[in-house]
Amino acid sequence: MTTVKLSVNGKEMSAEVEGRTLLVEVLREKLGLTGTHVGCDTSQCGACTVHVDGKSIKSCSVLAMDVAGAEVTTIEGMANPDGSLSVIQAAFKEHHGLQCGFCTPGMVMTAAALLKENPKPTEGEVRAYLEGNICRCTGYHNIVKAILAASGQDVAAMAAE
Ligand code: FES
Ligand code: FES
């Protein structure tokens, strides 16, 4: 076992890990941050998406030891400092961008990474960026709408679904 130190949502944390321990296992099982979901374990669904040093990654595909010392942000770190929903989270709520909610943490993390890179994406750019995030419920339309709304664009003309 090795001790890995991480800054998670702005707090210094450490965990005992084995060489094979995945980042998502540290977050969920050792740090209790169960907002990061595991939907596949094979790097396909994106439910485990978090930010590591500002970039979105699938935390089921990264060894904890390989990100020692990194700054990690999970869905628990996405709310505003006063605990209210962030702009992206509020847009998902307002535009019905979730149903069961299983994919939502990963979707929000991916959306945040997209809007950081591209603050005013087109609908096509949003759809392309979400390629690595699977949702079994919504048909994606309202997720895309929520992300466009979060970017400050007028989505009133987009059809409701
Ligand atoms: Fe990581 Fe599905 S659990 S991509
Ligand atoms: Fe159910 Fe996306 S809201 S998987």
Q: Point out the ligand nearest to the CA of residue 27.
A: 1
Question: What beta strand segments (E) does the chain contain?
Answer: 2-8, 11-17, 49-52, 55-58, 71-73
Q: pTM for the full model?
A: 0.96
* Domains of the chain by residue range: 2-77, 87-160
Q: What is the pLDDT of residue 114?
A: 98
Residue among 89, 107, 138, 144 whose CB has most ligand 2 atoms within 8 A, to mutate: 138
At 160 the pLDDT is 65
CA triplet 87, 99, 102: central angle to 5 degrees? 85
Distant-in-sequence, close-in-space partners of 21: CB < 8 Å, separation ≥ 6? 63, 64, 65
Q: What is the mean pLDDT of the chain?
A: 96
Query: Ligand 1 centre and the CA of 156: distance in Å?
Result: 33
Q: Which atom of ligand 1 is nearest to the CA of 49?
A: 1
* Distance in Å, CA 47 to ligand 2 centroid: 10
Q: Tell me: the pLDDT tens digits for 20-29?
A: 999 999 999 9
Superfamily of domain 87-160: [2Fe-2S]-binding domain (1.10.150.120)
Residue 72: partners with Cβ closer than 8 Å, 6 or more residues away: 6, 7, 8, 9, 23, 27, 50, 51, 52
Does residue 6 carry a pLDDT above 80?
A: yes
> Which pLDDT tens digit goes with each residue over 90-135?
999 999 999 999 999 999 999 999 999 999 999 999 999 999 999 9
pLDDT at residue 53, rounded to an integer: 98
For domain 2-77, give the CATH number: 3.10.20.30
pLDDT of residue 17: 97
pLDDT over threshold 90, residue 157: no
- Please tell me the distance between residue 18's alpha carbon and the centre of ligand 2 in angstroms: 32
Mutation pick for ligand 2 pocket among 99, 108, 145 (CB with most ligand atoms within 8 Å): 99
Q: Specify the pLDDT at position 51.
A: 98
* Each residue's pLDDT tens digit, 31-48: 999 999 999 979 999 999
Ligand in closest contact with the CA of 98: 2
Q: Which ligand is nearest to the CA of 45?
A: 1
Q: Give nearest CA residue, ligand 1 atom 4.
A: 43
